[in-house]
Structure 1
Amino acid sequence: MDEVVKAFNTMVRNGCLPSVVSYNILINGYCKNRKIDEAISLFREMSTKGLFPNVVTYSTLIGGFCRVGRPKIALKLLHEMQGCGQPPNIRTCAILLDRLCKNLHFTEAMALFKEMEDKKLDLDIVIYSILIDGMCNAGRLMTASELFNALPTKGFQPDVCTYTIMIKGLCKEGLLNEARELLEKMEEHGCSPNHFTYNTIIQGFLQHNETSWAVKYLKMMVDKGLSTNATTAAILIDLITTNRADKSLQDFFLKAL
C-alpha cells in the first residue's frame, strides 16, 4: 500500500489528475488492508475534487465496512448510494446481508431483504441461503423454516447448501426427526447430500446422544466414498476414548479397523 500511495501522490504532483478509477483502486487497497478510516477519507476527498463515486466505489466501501465488523455504517452507505442514483448490485447486497446476519442485526437484515425484493433485484438461492443460515444460527428456526418452505413459490429450489443449512438448524434445536425427514426429502427431490450434509447430520445426532442414527449415516457416507471432517472425527474420538460410545458405534469402529 505504501508504494501505491507514493505512485498516487507522484501522479498528482506531476499534474496528472486522478480519476474515479484511480480513487477506486486506492480505496480498494485500503479496504483489503482493513484501513477503513483511510478509505473513507479518500472517499470524502473525491467530492472536493469534483469526482462522483460510482457503484464500484460504494460497493468497495460497503465491503470494507463489513470486513471490519461495522455493517450498520455499510447499510447507511447503501442508502446514500441509492440516494445518489447508484443502484446497488446483487453482490453488494449479498455481502451486506451476510454481515448483518453474522453481527446479529436481524431487523436490519430482514429490512434489507424486503427492500431487495421490493426493488425486484435479481435474487438467487445464495441470497436466501444467507438469510436462512443467519436465522438458524440465531435460533430463529421458525423464520428460517418459513423462508425455506416459501422457496418454490419464489421460483427457487433448495440446493445442497440450503438443505444442509436447514438440517443444521433443525439439529441445533434438537429436532432430529425433522432433520432426518428433510434429508430424505432432499434425496427424493434429486438433490444428493454431500460430505458437508452428512457431517452436519452426524454431528447433530452425536451431540444429542443418538449414536445409532449417527452410525447409520456414517455407514451411508462411507458407502458413498465420503469422509468425516475434523469436527466429526473429534466428537467420535472423544466418545470412544471416554467410553461413552454405545455398542453400535463401537462395532462400527471395530469393523472399520
Structure 2
Amino acid sequence: MWRSKAARVFLLQSSSFSVRRFPRPLLSQCPSKTLTQIPPPTPFPSKWIFPTRSLHQNPRFFSSGSDTESREKIGKVSTFDFVESGESAVDQNSVFGDESDAIPLDSNPGLVSGESESSSLDFGVVKENGEVEGESSLSSLWEESVRGDDSADIFTPDDTLGGAEDGVAEIDIEQVEKVQSLLQSTSQEQLKSGLNKMDLSLSEGFVARVLQTPLVSAENLFGFFSWASRNDKSVKSSRNLELLVRGVSSCADLSKMEAYMLWDLVKEIGCEMGLLNTQTLNQLIAIFWKLGKARAGLEVFDKFDEFGCNPDANTYYFTIEALGRRSMFDTAWPVCQRMLNSGSLPDGEKVGKIITFFCRGKKAKEAHSVYLKAKENKIYPPRSCLEVLVGGLSSNDETIFIALELLEEYSGESLKYANRPFASVVQGLCRTKNLHEAKKLLMRMVNSGPAPGNAVFNYVITALSKGGEMEDAIALTKVMERRGLRPDVYTYSVIMSGFAKGGLMDEAYKIFCEAKKRHPKLSPVTYHILIRGYCQMEEFEKALECMKEMKEDGLQPNTDEYNKMIQSLCLKALDWRTAEKLLAEMKESGLHLKGITRGLIAAIKELEEEEIQSKGRSLQA
C-alpha cells in the first residue's frame, strides 16, 4: 500500500518540477537491488509529458549545498530526463539533496496523516558499480505508478499536450525548439534548406507542437506544413489542419493572398474525407469575414456538404456577418433560412446582430421571422434589437400591424423607456392613414405608458388635420395641455393648415392669434399658410396685411412668398400695379423674381394698356 501512495506523491511532485529530499538514515533499512534486475518502465504516455529541464539551466531545483559534493555522495540520476524519455532511471545528470534538506514525513501533503516513518519515500542510493541501495528504486516506483491500479486518477485527459496517440519517444522537445526558432527567425526562401539540414523525427504530435508556435508568419507556417506533409503523410491530420488554420488566422499581418492560399490548401486536403471538421471551416469563414471577402466566406459555407461537415450556429453567424460587411442582404437570406430550418441558432447577442443586419437592409419581415424562431428556442436578443425590429417593421406599410403586435413585448420597467418604438408605430399608422388605430395607441400611451411627447401628439394631430377631422385635432391639443405639454409652433401650424385647406380662414386666423400669444416668434411657414389661404380665397388685401405683419415681426418673406403673391395678383386680380410694388420690395431686399413671373407682370400690364386703347378707339368712333 505504501508503494502506491509514495508513487502518487512522487508523480505530483514531479509535475510541479521540484525534487523532494527525504531522510537519508532510512535508506539503509531496505536491502539493495541492482538496476539490471528491474525491468525498464513503460514509456510514459504523452499526456504526462513535462518540459525539458537541464541541470545547468535550473540550479534552483537542487540542494543549496555544493553540486559537486552531492554528485560524489549520491550519484547521477535525472528524474527530468527520465520523465521525458521514458528510459531507465539511471542517468548521468541527477542529484538528490543531503540530510540537511530532508523534508519531514508529516509535512508532505501527499501522504496520509498518521503513517509510520517507515512509510517514507525511499529512492535508494546509486553506488559506483551501478547498484542501488534500498528496496524501492526509482524504476520500480515508476513501474508501479504507471501500471498500478490506484494511480490512474492522478492525471486526467485534460493534461494532454500532444494527444493520447503520440508516443513520448516520437517528440523530441529539443528538436521542436530548434524548429520553432527557425520559423520565427528565417525567411520563407531559407526555410526549406534550414529544415532539410535538421535530422527531424517527424510525427503528427511533433508537427502539432510546431504549429502552435507564436509570432510566426503565415508564409512560414504554410512552408513548414507543406514540407512536413511531403516527408511524412501522417502529419496530414484533422488536428494539424485545424492548428494550421488557427495559427494563420492569428497572424496580425495576414494578407488576402495568404488567406486564399490557405483556402486552396484546405480544399486540396478536404478531398480526403474525414480530415476537415466544422471548427476548421468556421475559422476560415471568420478569416474571410475579417478581411471583408464575403464571397470567399460564402464559398467555404457552400463546401460543408462536400467535405462531410455539418454547419453549426457559428457557421451561419460568421457567414451572415461576412456577407453583411458587403451589404449582400439578398445573398445572406438563403443562408439565414438554412439556419432557421436547422434550428442551430447562435446566442442572443449574435441573433440580435443578425436581426439588425436584415433591418438595415430593409428586410424587416425576414428579421421578424428570425426573432420568432429565436423566441421559440428560448433565445432572447437584447432589448435594443427589439427596438430596431419595431422601427424596421413600422417603416413598411405592409408590416405596420406586425410592429403594433410586437409592442406587447414591452412590459414593466422596459415599458417606461419604450417611447421610440411606440412613436415609430404611431407614425407608421398615421402614414398609412389608420387614424383610428393611431388615436387608440396614443391614448393607450397616455393611460398606460410610455408617456407620449410632443412628437407623438403631432403625428396624430397632423394626420387628423390632413383628414379634415379638425375637432379631434383640437381635442388632442387640450389633452396635451392637461398633461403639462405645450403645443409647439408646428402643432398650431398643422391645425391652421387643416382649416385653411377647408377654406375656414377665420378659424385658421384664430389659431394663428393663439399661437402668437403662446409663442412670440413664429416660423415663416405659419405666415405662409395664412397668405396662401387668403390668396386661394382671393382675399388679397388680408394676404398683403399678413405679409406686412410678417415683416413687422422680424421675418423676411422669401422668393417663394413673393412669387405666389405676385402670381395671384396678376392672374386673379389683374393687379399689376400692386405686383410691381412687391417686385420693387424684392429688389430692395436683394431677392430676384423668376423670369416667368416678371414676364407675367409685363403681360398683364400690356394687356390692360391694349384694353384701354381699344376702349378709346371705340369712343372716338
Please report the TM-score for the alignment, with normalisation by the length of structure 2.
Answer: 0.37
Pairs aligned (count)? 253
Distance apart, 1:118 and its partner CA: 1.6
Of 5-14 and 189-198, more deviation after overlay is shown by 5-14
Deviations 1:51-92 (CA, angstroms, capped at 9, x unpaired): 11443232222211221213222112223x147995361111
Deviations 1:15-63 (CA, angstroms, capped at 9, x unpaired): 9884433333332332233222332232233235541144323222221
- Superposed, 1:92-103 pairs within 5 Å as 92-103=421-432
The residue aligned with 1:146 is: 475
Structure with greater helix percent: 1
Going from structure 1 to structure 2, the CA distance change for 1:218 and 1:46 (only over 3 Å counts) comes to same
Of 161-170 and 247-256, more deviation after overlay is shown by 247-256
- Superposed, 1:102-251 pairs within 5 Å as 102-223=431-552, 224-228=554-558, 232=561, 235-236=564-565, 238-239=567-568, 243-245=571-573, 247=575, 250=579
Quick one: which of 306, 314, 317 aligns to 1:12?
Answer: 314
The answer to whether the 8 Å contact 1:27/1:43 transfers is yes
Q: Is 1:38 paired with 2:366?
A: yes
Going from structure 1 to structure 2, the CA distance change for 1:15 and 1:113 (only over 3 Å counts) comes to closer
Q: Secondary structure at the match of 1:52?
A: coil
Distance apart, 1:116 and its partner CA: 0.7
Which structure has more RCO (C-alpha within 8 Å, separation ≥ 6)?
A: 1
Going from structure 1 to structure 2, the CA distance change for 1:255 and 1:60 (only over 3 Å counts) comes to same
Distance apart, 1:100 and its partner CA: 0.5
Letter in 1 for 2:384: V
Of 70-79 and 24-33, more deviation after overlay is shown by 24-33
The answer to whether the 8 Å contact 2:489/2:519 transfers is no
Give the distance between the partners of 2:370 and 2:556, measured in 1 at CA: 49
The answer to whether the 8 Å contact 1:199/1:229 transfers is no
Give the distance between the partners of 1:252 and 1:152, measured in 2 at CA: 44
Distance apart, 1:144 and its partner CA: 0.5
Distance apart, 1:123 and its partner CA: 2.1
The answer to whether the 8 Å contact 1:137/1:169 transfers is yes
Give the distance between the partners of 1:73 and 1:183, measured in 2 at CA: 39
Please report the TM-score for the alignment, with normalisation by the length of structure 1.
Answer: 0.81
Letter in 1 for 2:364: I
Q: Secondary structure at the match of 1:244?
A: helix
Identity %: 21
Of the two, which has the highest radius of gyration? 2
Q: Secondary structure at the match of 2:391?
A: helix
The answer to whether the 8 Å contact 1:215/1:252 transfers is no
The answer to whether the 8 Å contact 2:465/2:473 transfers is yes
Quick one: which of 75, 82, 87 aligns to 2:404?
Answer: 75
Unaligned residue ranges in structure 1 (runs of 5+): none
Going from structure 1 to structure 2, the CA distance change for 1:200 and 1:54 (only over 3 Å counts) comes to farther
Q: Secondary structure at the match of 1:243?
A: helix
Give the distance between the partners of 1:164 and 1:38, measured in 2 at CA: 39
The answer to whether the 8 Å contact 1:160/1:191 transfers is no
The answer to whether the 8 Å contact 1:132/1:147 transfers is yes
Of 38-47 and 221-230, more deviation after overlay is shown by 221-230
The residue aligned with 2:392 is: 64
